[in-house]
Amino acid sequence: MTEKDIREDIAWAKINKDVLKSLENPRKMYWVIIFIALAMIGVAVGAELYQYLTGMGVSYKNNSHVWGLYIATFIFWIGMSHSGTLLSAILHLMHADWRKPIYRFAEAMTTFSLMTAGLFVMVHLGRLWMFYYALPYPSERWIWPNFQSPLLWDAMAIFTYLSSSVIFLYIGMIPDLAICRDNMKNGWRKKLYTTLSLGWEGTDRQWRNFRITYLTVACFLIPLAVSVHSIVASDFAMSQQPGWHITSFPPYFVAGALYSGCAAIITLFIILRYVFRFEEYMTLPILKKTARLTFAIAMVWTYLNLIEFASVWYGHDQASKDVLIYKATGNYAPFWWGMMFCGSIVPLTLAFTRFQTNIPVLFVVSILLNVGMWLERWMIVAPTFAHGYYPWAWDHDQWPSFVQWSIVFGSFGWFALLFMVFCKIFPSVSMYEVKEMVYHRSQETKKKELASKGLANKGAH
């Protein structure tokens, strides 16, 4: 690897300047995105209101086919959230410092996709206004939710995950907030940063505890992330339905989650790089590494996918086998094969170095991957309902209504809005860590040069 992840001679002051610029004036594209996002949300809100007032029926599910796109998209967003953890926590523990310029927005992505996922739980409920029945709080009624229900585990896991990753995001941001504080002219933003930075001054004591804390939370986050998606998987694996009751579901879901997450990172990477002029920091070498990572996970996912089919195919459960065959041949076949194509064939492009740094290609590919992953979620939910245990209740021609589609569609707007607003208000590249990165790398190279000059012992003094 000859080309460097990041220029080492880049001045620290410049780092501050560049990143802080992102808080000021992004390119036009930024406002375009915001506008589109708002429009999408508008549609979704309309649809949801209609559904809320009329009843779930308008989403065209039915008595055998009780779940639809909402749950599928819910899983999709939960999955999306995992990449943040992957980049910030796992790679942090592995001291892969190329993550440093990009982990911040990855974490933001985690947080916001979790929030989006949360919405779908609500949207999906028949009696949204009774939602609080599902919360474990001491009530006058004396009754508690049913802790045996995987849905409740979901709620718990997601709450934990959301709050933890928000905290993680925030803690990691404190030194940068201090920078913002120091460089802001007076105004509401200054106040905001002053409060949030908690009077950080980068003293040795603060740094010392900061390091440990960050490390510890990172350690917690990894098992948490894994548990979250395996619990989501158990919504299905714990049930009895053919095509759901599969042991390999939890790992399969987790892999899928990381997969879609990485794809999403590439997409956002490219967008941010352009919108906020981050070419200096979100460099092609880093993009290349991400692409390779994505490719690796894609292969893992493909493998687990095949494992799942195999275990069904060679298993004794005829019903599940029927469902599998139905997926491949029934009226969901186009989507199912679409998922296979997007999920397992498309990523092969990432194997070619030439494409690993080709931004347009990567952009298209990363979006295709996520389409594939979304389809995968839908293909998990729908066919089992359409072709379950009870033939009389089979329902092959159930097609989601416009209401469902528009709410799903709008959720992307919602996510984009939250995310873009965040990037505008908070530094989406971690300044202090980029500095560390630059610092350490320059130290390295210094050492190397000295060594090469054979003056190592002199340089020691």
Binders in 121-140 for another protein, by CB under 8 A: 124-128, 130-131, 133-134, 136, 138-140
* Cα separations in angstroms, 21 against 149, 150, 185, 271, 434: 48, 45, 13, 16, 16
Residue placing its CB nearer to another protein in the complex, 14 or 27: 14
Nearest to 176 by CA among 358, 436, 402, 383: 436
Residue 97 found at the interface with another protein (CB under 8 A): no
Residue 315 found at the interface with another protein (CB under 8 A): no
Residue 220 found at the interface with another protein (CB under 8 A): yes
Residue placing its CB nearer to another protein in the complex, 192 or 361: 192
Residue placing its CB nearer to another protein in the complex, 211 or 448: 211
Question: Least distance from C-beta 210 to another protein, angstroms?
Answer: 7
Number of chain residues interacting with another protein (CB under 8 A):
109
Which amino acid makes up residue 451?
A
- The Cα–Cα gap between 173 and 14 comes to 19
Candidate list 398, 405, 441, 450; residue touching another protein; CB under 8 A: 398
Q: Strand locations in 118-186, DSSP E?
A: none
How open is the CA angle 303-361-81, to the nearest 5 degrees? 55
Candidate list 40, 117, 179, 286; residue touching another protein; CB under 8 A: 179
Please provide residue 240's backbone torsions phi and psi, each rounded to the nearest 5 degrees.
-100, 0
Residue placing its CB nearer to another protein in the complex, 39 or 66: 66
Residue placing its CB nearer to another protein in the complex, 23 or 298: 23
Residue 151 found at the interface with another protein (CB under 8 A): yes
Which amino acid makes up residue 168?
F
Candidate list 28, 95, 205, 458; residue touching another protein; CB under 8 A: 205
Binding to another protein, residues 409-448 (CB under 8 A): 432-433, 435-436, 439
Candidate list 157, 275, 339, 368; residue touching another protein; CB under 8 A: 157
Q: What is the distance in angstroms between the CA of the first residue and the CA of the last residue of the chain?
A: 31
- The Cα–Cα gap between 297 and 305 comes to 12
Residue 91 found at the interface with another protein (CB under 8 A): no
Binding to another protein, residues 363-382 (CB under 8 A): none
Question: Least distance from C-beta 315 to another protein, angstroms?
Answer: 14
Binding to another protein, residues 227-256 (CB under 8 A): 227, 231, 235, 238-241
Asked whether 84 and 167 are in contact (CB, 8 A), the reply is: no
Nearest to 169 by CA among 149, 194, 142, 196: 196
- The Cα–Cα gap between 63 and 65 comes to 6
Question: Least distance from C-beta 27 to another protein, angstroms?
Answer: 26
Residue 314 found at the interface with another protein (CB under 8 A): no
Binding to another protein, residues 34-73 (CB under 8 A): 54-57, 60-67
Residue 198 found at the interface with another protein (CB under 8 A): yes
Candidate list 141, 354, 458, 461; residue touching another protein; CB under 8 A: 141
Residue 16 found at the interface with another protein (CB under 8 A): yes
In b/e form, how buried is each residue of 355-369, taking b as 16+ CB within 10 angstroms? bbebeebbbebbbbb
Residue 211 found at the interface with another protein (CB under 8 A): yes
Question: Least distance from C-beta 222 to another protein, angstroms?
Answer: 10
Q: What burial class does residue 453 get, using C-beta atoms within 10 Å of its C-beta: 0-12 exposed, 13-18 middle, 19+ buried?
A: exposed
* Cα separations in angstroms, 452 against 94, 311, 457: 28, 56, 12
Residue 12 found at the interface with another protein (CB under 8 A): yes
